[in-house]
Copies of this chain bind each other. A is one copy, B any other.
């Protein structure tokens, strides 16, 4: 298959070969109560169980495992609110190269601590006043190291796409599990671009829906307007993982081709989903990782009688915030 998009299914299959035995094949989780509540069959893909607690290891390892010996020596730089940071740090440790991560100064503590623990060097920046891409590019120029973007890179997109490839392979092994709809969190669009490419290659009629936090629904508005829109600089959300400024240059055309649409959920709806995940699913999910479940629980789509797959994309949440959410204080 050849087209004008950054990746196709063969890139994802190649990534899956690189990741075999290296990334966790996350299971599909079913829950009878959730099915009963929604009147649907829900297949949960818990990337919270991936190395580093989020899907990001897939793309990072796919990229870093292709570095030349010389590039490995010089190392990599990445900018990330935390999950890509941890994925790159772990992948760098695995392939044996130094990693410098540029992180917002308000990143969740668990993400900063883990990134450091996994062996990366960290440089902080202010999420609202500094340009993270410019900082990373400057560092890359200084040090001569490779920039590992968090979504706008074909190797990253292909790596994240293995979530979708795995989902399809797993669904084929279960009776009646092929999804009519797939809901997936959207930040810069790396995950959903790869995932939707894999799902559509197998099931062209599946509806793929993105989910964004209210206030950071740049992709939702961009798909409507047909051009890459930004967000109101005054917008705030506790979904720290999904606050990318605009859809990516590479991910946007893929999302334009593959998505049925994008939904937006409020922080309050996300909190409700985090509580549901804790009490009923027994899973720890961070705000940005929980938006697809939030959209389902908030009734954003009619799913009665359908088979629905959702991605829980990350589980790195500070215990203090989690406790406040559980207590209904956030």
Contact = CB atoms under 8 A, between A and B. Distances in A.
B30 A27 contact: no
A29 interface: yes
A110 interface: yes
A110 B279 CA distance: 8
Interface in A194-230: none
A323 B315 contact: no
Contact of A49 (B29, B51, B320): B29
A32 B94 CA distance: 11
A282 B49 contact: yes
A56 interface: no
A60 B67 CA distance: 54
Interface residues of A, number: 28
Among A51, A280, A284, find the residue whose CB has the most chain B CB atoms closer than 10 A: A284
Interface string A258-292: 00000000000000000100111111110000000
Contacts of A281: 49
Contact of A282 (B48, B275, B319, B327): B48
A137 interface: no
Given A29-B49, A30-B24, A32-B51, A282 B323 contact: no
Contacts of A51: 32
A181 interface: no
Contacts of A46: 282
A20 to B, nearest CB: 11
A195 to B, nearest CB: 20
A319 B110 contact: no
B319 A53 contact: no
A326 interface: yes
A108 to B, nearest CB: 12
A273 to B, nearest CB: 14
A84 interface: no
A309 to B, nearest CB: 16
A322 interface: yes
B326 A282 contact: no
B319 A326 contact: yes
Interface string A305-330: 00000000001000110110011000
Among A30, A279, A285, A315, find the residue whose CB has the most chain B CB atoms closer than 10 A: A279
Nearest to A324: B323
B32 A282 contact: no
Contacts of A322: 278, 323, 326
Nearest to A30: B24
Nearest to A117: B33
Interface in A228-245: none
18 contacts: A27-B27, A27-B29, A29-B49, A46-B282, A49-B282, A53-B280, A278-B319, A278-B322, A279-B319, A282-B315, A283-B284, A284-B284, A319-B323, A319-B326, A320-B327, A322-B323, A323-B323, A323-B326
Given A49-B281, A319-B323, A319-B326, 8 more contacts: A27-B27, A49-B282, A53-B280, A53-B282, A278-B319, A279-B319, A320-B326, A322-B323
